[in-house]
Structure 1
Amino acid sequence: MAEIYAPSLETSVPDDLTLPQFILDSSHPLRPIPSSHVPWFIEDASGRGVGHEEVRARTYGLANGLSLRFGLKENDLVVIFSPNHIDYPVGIWATHRLGGIVSCANPANNIDELLHQLKVVHASLIIAHSSSLHTALGAAQAAGLPSERVITFDESNQMTVDTLIQQGLRSEPNFVERRLRKGEAKTKVAFLSFSSGTTGKPKAVAISHFGPIMNVILMAEHQKVNKNYAPWEEQRFRPGDVLAGALPFFHIYGLVLALHFMPFCSISVVVIPKFNFTEFLDSVVRHRINHLQLVPPQIVLLCKHPAMKNYNLDCVRLVMCGAAPLSASLVDQLVKILPNAEIGQGYGMTEASGTIAMFSVDTKIGVLGSAGRLAPGIVAKVIKHDGTLAGFNEPGELQVKIPSVALGYLNNDEATKETFVDGWLRTGDEVVIREDLEVFIVDRLKEIMKVKGFQVAPAELEGCLLDHPDVADTCVVPISDSYSGELPMAFVVLHANAVKRIAVDPAEVERVKVSIKKHVADNKVTYKHLAGGVEFVDVIPKNPSGKLLRRVLRDRARDLVQLKSRL
């Protein structure tokens, strides 16, 4: 079979605008005319709404304040280290107004994990939340970044974003915003977003301004935004609708879909700082939320949590699930719980600046098991294990040419050459594509696992495990989990002294396992913990070149899980 072509993109995409110029300052044929009374963002707890003009003013004020106070300028790097906050997009767009680059960090990271990110991107400034401040200050100190260059979204002993905004609004302009040259948006870096590779620590994906702009327009055309394709009450994305902004904004899913695509569609985003299920349900009811962008573990809660019987969610019109595959059985359950809602999946990658496939507006319920239909402007091919092109309905690795493709990995030519090959993005996912362009994820060929939608590199955990005194060798594999999607399990070869202790006292087996799990918990963010357990083995299987035979242990892990379920 030849290459697979999705429908061509019919609308224009500006290549001389930065993201804030596109989102805050410009119009587009696919963009609904925003209403002045519809807020762009709503603070969940207080209900305070912030409209377009206020967002725009706060963005300018912060940009001017950052220029005045810190001399922030072209290509300086700002790390945002915070849970979701109503000024999160202001922090991003203010940095971009100055020509700077943003790197969003997981607020659950510990000092070492944040330090790694600060060093890789050469951060000039950190915008943190008070709940993350201790970690931010510790990592800043270790990176040689002065503590006064750590500011906060909310009240603290540090300089706050609001103080800088007010200073910037009171003062004369201290910067001149640059209009990009024709085509420059395709090369000017907007984000350094971290994505786990198959080896080592997470890598910084360089995303241009054009990438998210293109991805927003690509999705808008795919979803027929601002087109009268159906009666108003049946249209999927309607101005004035409300989204639950519970996805973490540091993740590409939340960053592009919630913070950029939704404002483009004139849909209000309720900013939810931290996901707690019953509080989330309270928010949906309180704000009459219509749109849910979720990951599979949250769908599991909607289907199975006993609190659901206490809530009427008739206001929900659309449920979009992404970041990891959603089983057909869960979709069936969700349809029964939310019979009035459209339900489907999307599929994307950080390296694609967002979405690659999304369920079509042609159907109320997405094709069961499908990750969605290829979006406009994308060319795909499926490569079989022998290197030949697969046909429709044949499995193989998905490779795509997508206009929003990232620029590559920062300072990592080897990884860039492996993933971005002759214009093709290698997804590392084994898929089947049907004639109607529906994409079905079969398996991940690359070694990354997905835990609650977050990427986890086995090699990163293996490096941590090898620091434990009792661990001589190790291999980490995923096991399936109905809630989290996957969980890390570690196979461990013990050092001789640990083997001797166990021979003397069999109870030492559990003590060593607990110690190993605690070691990872003490050094890694929660979703990287060994929730799948620890199993001792005599040897880690490897090929003649020393490469881990991870698939052998994945099969063994699956057998162990099945055996335990029968006991």
Structure 2
Amino acid sequence: MSEIYGPSLETSVPDDLTLPQFILDSSHPLRPIRPSHVPWFIEDAGGRGVGHEEVRARTYGLANGLSLRFRVKENDLVLIFSPNHIDYAAAIWATHRLGGVVSCANPANNTNELLYQLKVVNASLIITHSSSLQTALGAAQAAGLPSERVITFDESNQISVDALIQQGLRSEPNFVERRLRKGEAKTKVAFLSFSSGTTGKPKAVAIPHYAPIVNVIQMAQQQKVNKNYAPWEEQRYRPGDIVAGALPFFHIYGLVVIINFMTFCGLSIVVIPKFNFTEFLESIARHRISHLLLVPPQVVLFCKHPAVKNYNLNGVRLLMCGAAPLSASLVDQIVKIMPNAQIGQGYGMTEAAATIAMFSADEKLGVPGGAGRLSPGVVAKVVKDDGTLAGFNEPGELQVKIPSIALGYLNNDEATKETFVNGWLRTGDEVVIREDHEVFIVDRLKEIMKVKGFQVAPAELEGCLLDHPDVSDTCVVPILDSYSGELPMAFVVLNPNTVKRIALDPAEVRRVKVSIIKHVADNKVAYKHLAGGVEFVDVIPKNPSGKLLRRVLRDRARDLVWSKSKL
């Protein structure tokens, strides 16, 4: 099989605009006209809607306030460490108006995890929320960032985003927004988003403004946005439709697909700060949400949770699942629960600035188990272990050439060379592509787990485990889980003194395991905890060069899980 080409991009893509200039200030042939009464964002709790002019005004006011108060300027890094918030997008776009760069962090990170990100990106300002404030202040102090440079979306003892907006709106302009030179959007960094790539600790992916802009246009073309391809009631994305903004905005899925693509399409985003399933069902009913963008664990809840039977979900018109593969059996179940919905999957990654493939707008139901078809402008090849190209229906690593490709990893040439090779992006995913160009994710070749849709690098957990006094060597592998997709399990070689303690008192086995699990829980965000458990082994298998033979232990973990299920 030679290289596979997705459809050609049919329209031009501006390469001299920043992301807010594209989203807030410009028009495009694929962009529908949003009626003036249709809000861009809706607060989940209170139902307050924020329309286009208010979004633009708040973005400008915040940009001016940041310039006046903190002298934020070209290439300064603003780190957003917060749950979803009605002003989250404005904070991103305001930073971009000033020529700055945004790095979004998981609000569940602990102080050490946030400190790591602060140091990697060299942040000059943190925008957080009162619920994450103490962690933000602790990390800022450790990074040498003054506490007054930590601001909050809501009211607290710190200066608030709204106060900055009001200051910016009542003051004379303190900045001049720069228009990029022709082609500069392809090199001007907009985001430093964190990904584990194909291996190792999380790395800062440098994403230029052009990447999310072209990805939005790719999705709009593939999804036939603003095209009269079907009766109005059957068209997938229409101005006035309402989408659930429940996925975290710090994640590339929420950042590009929800915040930018959905606003481009004219949908209203219900901003949901924290996902709680029964409250989510209430939000769907309260706001008449028609579009659900989810990850597999959330789909599992719709299929299994007893509260679902109390709600009428016939108004859901679209369910899109991404971030991790969704099994065919779950698709079969969810179809019965949402009979009127178009249901399918998309596939992408941070290094691609979101989407690589998506299920067709011509299908009410995507191919069960399939990740969709290649987006416009994408070229793909499937590479076998020996470096030759696979044929149709043959497995191999998916490599793609995409217009939305990232620039590489910040200050990490070695990792960049491993993942970005001669214009090709190595996805690290083993796939099969059928003759009809449907993509199926078979396995992950990269050493990355997907827990509830989030990336977990085994090497990061192994480094944490080796800090535990009882651990001499370790290897972390995934085990399958019907809800989370995968869970981390640690194989551990104990140090000799611990082995002696256990020989004297077998009850030490449980105590040591509990201690190891607690050590990880104390140092890592919740989805990185060792929910798959800890198993003691005499030796960690390695090849002659010392590389962990992770697949050997993955197979052993699978056998252990199977054995326990039979007890």
Give the AA of the match of 2:552. V
* Aligned position for 1:306: 306
Q: Residue 292 of structure 1 aligns to a residue in which SS?
A: strand
Q: Which residue in the other structure is 1:161 paired with?
A: 161
Which amino acid counterpart does residue 114 of structure 1 have in structure 2?
A: L
Quote the Cα distance in structure 1 between the aligned partners of 2:337 and 2:256: 28
- Tell me the residue number matched to 1:88: 88
Measured on the aligned residues, the alpha-carbon RMSD in Å equals 0.6
Which one-letter code corresponds to 1:201 in the other structure?
Answer: K
Residue 421 (structure 1) aligns with: 421
| d(CA) in 2 for partners of 1:243, 1:337 | 18
Q: Which residue of 1 aligns with 2:117?
A: 117
Distance in 2 separating the partners of 1:36 and 1:248? 27
Q: CA deviation at 1:201?
A: 2.1
Identify the residue that residue 465 of structure 1 maps to in structure 2: 465
Q: Is the 8 A contact 2:292 2:316 kept in 1?
A: yes
Instruction: Report if the CA contact (8 A) 1:41-1:268 is conserved.
Output: yes
* Secondary structure of the structure 2 residue equivalent to 1:86: coil
Which residue of structure 1 lines up, in the alignment, with residue 100 of structure 2? Answer: 100
After TM superposition, the structure 1 = structure 2 runs for residues 296-335 of structure 1, keeping only pairs within 5 Å, are 296-335=296-335
Q: How far apart are residue 199 of structure 1 and its match?
A: 4.2
Aligned pairs for 1:79-478 (under 5 A) are 79-478=79-478
- Structure 1 residue 309: Cα displacement: 1.1
CA-CA distance at 1:196 after TM superposition: 1.4
In 2, Cα distance between the equivalents of 1:535 and 1:280? 37
AA matched with 2:373: R
Structure 1 residues 523-545: Cα deviation after superposition (integer angstroms, max 9, x where no partner): 00000000000000000000000
AA aligned opposite 2:331: V
Question: How far 1:131 moved relative to its partner?
Answer: 0.3
* Cα deviation code 1:493-541 (max 9, x no counterpart): 0011111111111111111101000000000000000000000000000
Take 2:239 and 2:34, find their aligned partners in 1: how far apart are those partners? 7
> How far did 1:198 drift?
4.5
- Indicate if the aligned counterparts of 2:474 and 2:491 stay in contact, CA closer than 8 A: yes
Letter in 1 for 2:246: A
The answer to whether the aligner puts 1:563 opposite 2:563 as a matched pair is yes
Write the distance in 1 (CA, Å) between the matches of 2:190 and 2:35: 28
Paired position in structure 1 for 2:14: 14
The equivalent residue for 1:497 is 497
Instruction: Work out whether 1:27 is the aligned partner of 2:27.
Output: yes
CA distance in 1, matches of 2:528, 2:53: 40
Q: Which residue of 2 aligns with 1:62?
A: 62
Tell me the alpha carbon deviations over residues 142-187 of structure 1, each in whole angstroms, 9 at most, x when there is no partner: 0000000000000000000000000000000000000000000000
Quick one: distance in 1 between partners of 2:402 and 2:493?
43
TM-score normalised to structure 2 length:
1.00
Contact 1:198 1:459 in 2 (8 A): no
1:108 corresponds to which letter in structure 2?
A
Alpha-carbon contact 2:323-2:348 (below 8 Å) kept: yes
SS of structure 2 residue aligned to 1:140: helix
**Equivalent position SS for 1:361:** coil
Alignment check: 8 A CA contact 2:198 2:419 kept: no
Identity %: 86
SS at match of 1:426: strand
Contact 1:199-1:460 at 8 Å conserved across structures: no
Query: 2:197 touches 2:419 (CA, 8 Å); kept in 1?
Result: no
Please say if residues 541 and 552 of structure 2, whose CA atoms lie closer than 8 Å, have aligned partners that are also in contact: yes
- Moved >6 Å (runs of 4+): none
Which runs of no fewer than 5 residues in structure 2 stay unpaired? Answer: none
Q: How far has the Cα of 1:200 moved from its partner?
A: 3.6
C-alpha distance in structure 2 between counterparts of 1:475 and 1:507, whole Å: 24
Q: Does the CA contact (< 8 Å) of 2:42 and 2:270 recur in 1? A: yes
Aligned positions, number: 567
Which residue matches 2:40?
Answer: 40
Partners of 1:233 and 1:164 in 2: CA distance: 42
Q: Matched residues in 2 for 1:556 and 1:339: separation?
A: 40
* Matched AA of 2:294: L
Deviation at 1:314, TM superposition (A): 1.3
CA contact (8 A) 1:61 1:168 kept: yes
Q: Which amino acid aligns with 2:345?
A: Q
TM-score (norm 1): 1.00
Local SS of the residue matching 2:455 = strand
SS at match of 2:275: coil
The 1-side partners of 2:68 and 2:40 are apart by 27
Q: Which runs of 5+ in 1 are unaligned?
A: none
